[in-house]
Amino acid sequence: MSGFRHVVVFRWVEGTTVAQQEEVAARLRALTGVIPEIRAYAAGLDAGINPGNHEFAVVADFDSREDYLVYRDHPEHRAVIEELITPILAERAAVQYAI
């Protein structure tokens, strides 16, 4: 194993704005400066090309499962979830796997 990847996709509640989604993306991306265990991180809105897609995705890479768990449970990450994601979340799907 050369690393560990976390992939999560979201669908938002009706009425969620682009500005709200962009704020989620910005706050999540800022975690790279706070959580040193993050090796690579991408978060953003769906491009809207294919119907039926989820509306937002996060892909995060770590050196190990343990580093992922640090990220998962980190207070700054939990704050983004509680303050910005949970209030507009309709559906979430995630997977973690060795890379």
Domains of the chain in sequence order: 4-98 (3.30.70.100)
- The mean pLDDT value for 47-72 works out to 98
75 contacts: CB under 8 Å, gap ≥ 6: none
Specify burial of residue 45 (Cβ count, 10 A radius: 0-12, 13-18, 19+). Answer: middle
Enter the pTM of the model.
0.94
pLDDT at 1 over 70: no
pLDDT at 30 over 90: yes
- Do residues 68 and 62 lie in contact, with contact meaning Cβ atoms separated by under 8 Å? yes
Distance CA(11)–CA(31), nearest Å, equals 21
- The mean pLDDT value for 40-60 works out to 97
Measuring CA to CA, which residue among 70, 56, 25, 62 is closest to residue 40? 62
